[in-house]
Amino acid sequence: MKDYRIIEVKESILSDNDKDADELRKELKAQNTFLLNLMSSPGAGKTTTLVRTINMLKDEFKIGIMEADIDSDVDAKTISEAGARTIQIHTGGMCHLDADMTRQGLREFETEDLDLVVLENVGNLVCPAEFDTGAVRNAMILSVPEGDDKPLKYPLMFQVANVVLINKCDTLPVFDDFSKEDVVERIRMRNPYCDIIFVSAKTGEGFEEWANWLRREIRAFQEV
């Protein structure tokens, strides 16, 4: 039996998504739930990163995951097996989530008292960056095989990120034209303030730093 629900969400009819996103942030603060919006290209490693993150943090925080996909529920299956409460959101072809779609997903957790909800956004470096989901923080993953020039080509995604994870660092010997120095410099052109963490969701490299980033952010949010 599947241990997750699948829901179809509809695009918001609200004209002012930014205002709605601010409303959702207030609602989440009232229930002390830290919402993280996780974005990346298709195949950058969002799901593998989440599985390892759940395993590291599930004894400290009550975690819920919303998997947003155009179709399929392969990720929801993987995530629910890792032990987090999971909702699969189908976007009906939409390339991003807005605040109201995110709220529709959150409702499915019902009365559960979650500390951390991660929205795994649709794999796309363009559109998700344009829509505030109501999240407290935006995280993005850039994987080494995608190349170190991506901050030049997809500026908004890097601008809106509070933290950038550079994933698949175990493959740096294979992708030897990827320069860690260049990617940091190019991210800094777009965003002087975000945190940048080099990780490998496969080997676990860098995950202690990433888990500490989350611990610090969640605690700061819940203590305000």
* H-run or E-run covering 17: helix 17-30
Q: Does residue 147 interact with a second copy by CB under 8 A? A: yes
Contacts of 30 (CB under 8 A, 6+ apart): none
**Of residues 6 and 156, the one with the C-beta less far from a second copy:** 156
Q: Which two tokens stand for residue 174?
A: 């294979």
Which one among 152, 209, 216, 220 touches a second copy, defined by CB under 8 A? 152
Distance CA 23, CA 20 (A): 5
Q: Which of 70, 92, 112, 220 binds a second copy (CB under 8 A)?
A: 70
Q: Which is nearer to a second copy, 148 or 217 (CB)?
A: 148
- Structure token digits, residue 22: 């601010």
Q: Could you say which residues in the range 89-118 bind a second copy, by CB under 8 A?
A: 93, 95
Yes or no: say if 209 and 52 are a contact pair by the CB < 8 Å rule.
no
Options 3-11, 25-33, 53-61, 152-160: segment touching a second copy (CB under 8 A): 152-160
Smallest gap, in angstroms, from Cβ of residue 88 to a second copy?
Answer: 12
CA distance 73 to 61: 24
The CB-of-152 to a second copy minimum distance in angstroms stands at 4
Stretch that binds a second copy, among 72-80, 113-121, 193-201, 208-216 (CB under 8 A): 72-80
User: 86, 97, 150, 187: which one contacts a second copy (CB under 8 A)?
Assistant: 150
Identify the residue among 11, 23, 115, 149 touching a second copy (CB under 8 A).
149
Q: How far is the C-alpha of 153 from the C-alpha of 126, rounded, in Å?
A: 10
Q: Where are the beta strands (DSSP E) in the chain?
A: 4-8, 34-40, 63-69, 85-90, 116-120, 137-143, 163-167, 195-198
Q: Taking CB under 8 A as the rule, does residue 203 contact a second copy?
A: no
Amino acid at 53: T
Tell me how far, at minimum, the Cβ of 136 lies from a second copy, in Å.
Answer: 25
Q: CA 223 to CA 149: how far, in whole Å? A: 38
Residues that bind a second copy (CB under 8 A): 41-43, 69-72, 74-75, 93, 95, 122-127, 130, 143, 145-147, 149-150, 152-156, 168, 171, 174
